[in-house]
Structure 1
Amino acid sequence: MLRTIDLRGTRPSASELLALVPRAATDVTAALDGARALIDDVRDRGEAALVDQAERFDRARPAAVRVPPEELAAALEALEPHIRSAIEATIERVRAASRAQVPAPRRTELANGAVVEQRWQPVGRVGLYVPGGKAVYPSSVVMNVVPAQVAGVGSIALASPPQEAFGGRVHPVVAGVAALLGVTEVYAMGGAGAIGAFAYGVPGIGLEPVQRVTGPGNVFVAAAKRLVQGVTGIDAEAGPTDILVIADDSADADFVAADLVSQAEHDELAAAVLVTDAPGFAARVIERLEARVAATKHSTRVRTAMEGAQSALVLVDDLDQATDFANAFGPEHLEIQVRHADAALARIENAGAIFVGDHSPVSLGDYAAGSNHVLPTGGQARYAAGLSAATFLRPQQVVRYDADALREVAPAIAALSAAEDLPAHGEAVAARFAR
């Protein structure tokens, strides 16, 4: 089911490992032209373009792109009690964990009267995207909205594709969770057009431009995010999900198989990777995979993902080689199920979120761990971080010098401005002492 990459007896270099890691055959650049056309259409025609795009891609024509307040209230009222209870518990945990992501202001006194203050200022307005393709993602409402609220964002707009099954409305559970979180500005729009609407605004429906767009989506959403950078900020170009499990023969083969299947059910392009130094254990995992894939609801989708080029069984000599491979892969989700988990964790540099131990499955992080599940995919964890309260904050330095403190550094400023042939810089300081 999983193709095998056998690294035993070799020590690939960092660049060789990068060439070996399995990847889905997705290309954001190939979607740029299509995404650009959809964004331009929204800029030109506003709500009419969004409605036409909904009919074309979502097979649903919303009566109004902006969701009426009474529809949000009704969706909240209709939330099933056990769903509402689960969401409320998740909100509480994500809110608590997000608070830890907000840095405290710092004041550094460099000399008498010379102070640099560090503050973290939230963006004023954000657009949060909640996908609606093969699954429904009320949990993504929580993961987007709560960190923004904790960061202090004052204006939040949320978009999710209109649903054919609900007459062109946003999925009622998504709408209900938005209302539960106090979000009153919700739009039935999806794909690249929604990202363009966030970036440029749609005056006809009261949608003002945002300063940052966040949330997962398909390749056209990722392409649209790339196109609007420079107009608005983004979190990352999210793509198909991935999981990498480092396990040895102390792990439970059925647990590992279940976790691989749990991520493969998202999408046919989802990546499921097992890295192990125990061939016998690997054989047991493959055996359990066959049984679990056959029994799961989305069996065809999962099997396609497992048999794709992006998924693999990687055989290694030892834990060091396993962590080297994981760092090259840069997984969105990394599970560590080995005897010496802390030793493995100490060697990990690149991962979106890390789940340690046999009772910390990725699905825990997807819903109720308190961590955020909007994470960098496709190897982006090698240089990018997951969504957090910090995503919505901008570090700003506030400089306060009095006359004596400025006089002390004036010679250094004069010397450097002369060296750079920017004499007016030094003159701006000297002017303060010329009187």
Structure 2
Amino acid sequence: MSAFTFPVISPSSVSSTNKDPVDPVALEQARAIVNKLKESKTRSSTLMEIGHQFGDIPPTANTYIIPKSSQKAAYDALPPAQRSALDRIHARVSTFASAQLSSLTDLRIPIPGGHAGHTVTPCKTAGCYAPGGRYPLPSSVIMTVATAKAAGCGTVVLASPRPKDITMAAAWVSGADVFVGVGGAQAIAAMAYGVEGDAAKSLVNGHCGIDMLAGPSEVLVICDETCSVPVVAADLIAQCEHDVVARAILVSDSRATIDSVISETERQLALLPEPNRSTAIAAYNSGFAVECEDMDECVKVSDVIAPEHLEVMCKGEEEVARKCRCYGGLFIGLNAAEVLGDYGCGPNHTLPTGGTGRYTGGLSVFSFLGIRTWIMMGKEKTKENRQMVEDTVIMARCEGLEGHARAAEKRL
């Protein structure tokens, strides 16, 4: 019996495949930890206690803060090639984020009787999280911290459990202001509610904004008979080795291509070293392929799934990609590998999962900005201003809000 299971399903079966990004059991576990920290009168000691309990903090350690000196020492100790790679990735991510920032500016336009507009202001403090589970993720450090710094956030707090040297080096390169060496729900709670004596205190006390709810990572590849089968297979495997719950999805209008990719993927999986192979096979077995009538149907299927990563490799790939509306990050063409996006082409790799790409994009410099509108009017009245006030009176009375109408009439 084959160790592989990668079913080919019809487009009509796709709608039932989306998963809730938040596991109910994990949610309850996280709730208990968050509430414990939220209600604690000595959050610093409670955070230390939880950090020791989950192995985030070594038993002999008396602080959860990773000092700048340790970050710098870790960076200096890296091989030159790794230091240079971190520097270049940071430069590319920062350049892209800065370019995004420059596309959005303060606005001021005339309105009857005055002016209106918006201001663009960064968050005072940003909390960034880099997972520290099966693999160290220095790329996530750069993606989050460098983007927040480019936005102009006053204080950037990074949290990551049991950080490896490469993670600490990435924090140094990215310019994290505070590095909290804990993870999980306790890290999120500490950054959201604050810890006495800690810079995280400046985060909103009681609640804060988040970028998105992150679930298992996923890739969807749209391809046809012109694609490179070995490349598609390699990209599916790259996604699968993230985690046993990662998802790889293949969508094509060619059954022969689907069969070829499945065969090649399973051949390449068998050659992957352990422990990556076992992880990748488990994830691969939860994936599937969708056989469609044509490229338009492939696009419809992709939009229903709204994948975190969407790769398009087919004839007229740019035109096909333009038709896609729901995804986290888009990769068009043979050489636009999703893994290049993971490691710093420029756009952020923190992307929506679990179908949330239907209504939101990924992390960007905009995630750390507040766009706030304003209206300013003096005592001078114009014909246009009077008409605007009269329109307000009419609409207020249509809605039955007499107090609104009278407030507007006071301006006549």
Give the TM-score normalised by structure 1.
Answer: 0.85
Q: 1:6 aligns with which of 4, 9, 12?
A: 9
Cα distance in 1 for residues equivalent to 2:57 and 2:279: 24
Matched, 1:348 2:349: no
1:8-44 per-residue CA deviation (whole Å, 9 max, x = no partner) reads xxx74xxx6412x3x5687533322211111122231
Name the SS of the counterpart of 1:35 in structure 2: helix
Contact (CA 8 Å) 2:116, 2:376: kept in 1 or not? yes
Matched, 1:416 2:395: yes
- Partner residue of 1:40? 35
Matched, 1:52 2:49: yes
Cα distance in 1 for residues equivalent to 2:288 and 2:388: 59
Distance change (3 Å), C-alpha of 1:416 and 1:281: closer
AA of the residue aligned to 2:336: S
AA of the residue aligned to 1:180: V
Cα distance in 1 for residues equivalent to 2:402 and 2:89: 57
Q: 2:181 aligns with which of 184, 188, 200?
A: 188
Matched, 1:404 2:405: no
Cα distance in 2 for residues equivalent to 1:56 and 1:279: 51
Contact (CA 8 Å) 1:116, 1:398: kept in 2 or not? yes
Name the SS of the counterpart of 1:55 in structure 2: helix
Matched, 1:335 2:311: yes
AA of the residue aligned to 1:57: F
AA of the residue aligned to 1:303: I
What displacement does 1:381 show?
0.5
- Partner residue of 1:110? 111
Correspondence 1:10-159 to 2 at 5 A = 12=12, 17-19=14-16, 21=17, 23=18, 27-43=22-38, 44=40, 45-58=42-55, 60-61=57-58, 62-102=61-101, 103-111=104-112, 113-159=113-159
Contact (CA 8 Å) 1:2, 1:313: kept in 2 or not? no
- Partner residue of 2:280? 302
Moved more, 276-285 or 188-197: 276-285
Correspondence 1:240-251 to 2 at 5 A = 240-251=216-227
Give the TM-score normalised by structure 2.
Answer: 0.90
Cα distance in 2 for residues equivalent to 1:184 and 1:149: 10
Correspondence 1:310-389 to 2 at 5 A = 311-389=287-365
Cα distance in 2 for residues equivalent to 1:206 and 1:255: 46
AA of the residue aligned to 2:296: D
AA of the residue aligned to 1:289: T
Cα distance in 2 for residues equivalent to 1:250 and 1:389: 36
AA of the residue aligned to 2:108: R
Moved more, 52-61 or 298-307: 52-61
Over the residues paired in the alignment, what is the CA RMSD in angstroms? 2.2
What displacement does 1:141 show?
1.0
Moved more, 293-302 or 282-291: 282-291
Q: 1:265 aligns with which of 231, 236, 241?
A: 241
AA of the residue aligned to 2:183: G
Contact (CA 8 Å) 1:108, 1:116: kept in 2 or not? yes
1:150-185 per-residue CA deviation (whole Å, 9 max, x = no partner) reads 2221111110012xxxxxxx3222122212222231
1:391-429 per-residue CA deviation (whole Å, 9 max, x = no partner) reads 111211121223225445332233334444444444445
- Partner residue of 2:170? 177
- Partner residue of 2:203? 210
Contact (CA 8 Å) 2:341, 2:347: kept in 1 or not? yes
What displacement does 1:350 show?
0.4
Contact (CA 8 Å) 2:56, 2:183: kept in 1 or not? no
Query: Tell me, which stretches of 5 or more residues in structure 2 are unaligned?
Result: none
Cα distance in 1 for residues equivalent to 2:180 and 2:36: 17
Distance change (3 Å), C-alpha of 1:363 and 1:407: same
Name the SS of the counterpart of 2:54 in structure 1: helix
Q: Identity of aligned pairs, percent?
A: 30
Name the SS of the counterpart of 1:70 in structure 2: helix
AA of the residue aligned to 1:50: L
- Partner residue of 1:233? 209
Contact (CA 8 Å) 1:158, 1:186: kept in 2 or not? yes
Name the SS of the counterpart of 2:261 in structure 1: helix
1:245-303 per-residue CA deviation (whole Å, 9 max, x = no partner) reads 01111001000010001111110000011111222222221222122212223101000
Cα distance in 2 for residues equivalent to 1:154 and 1:207: 12
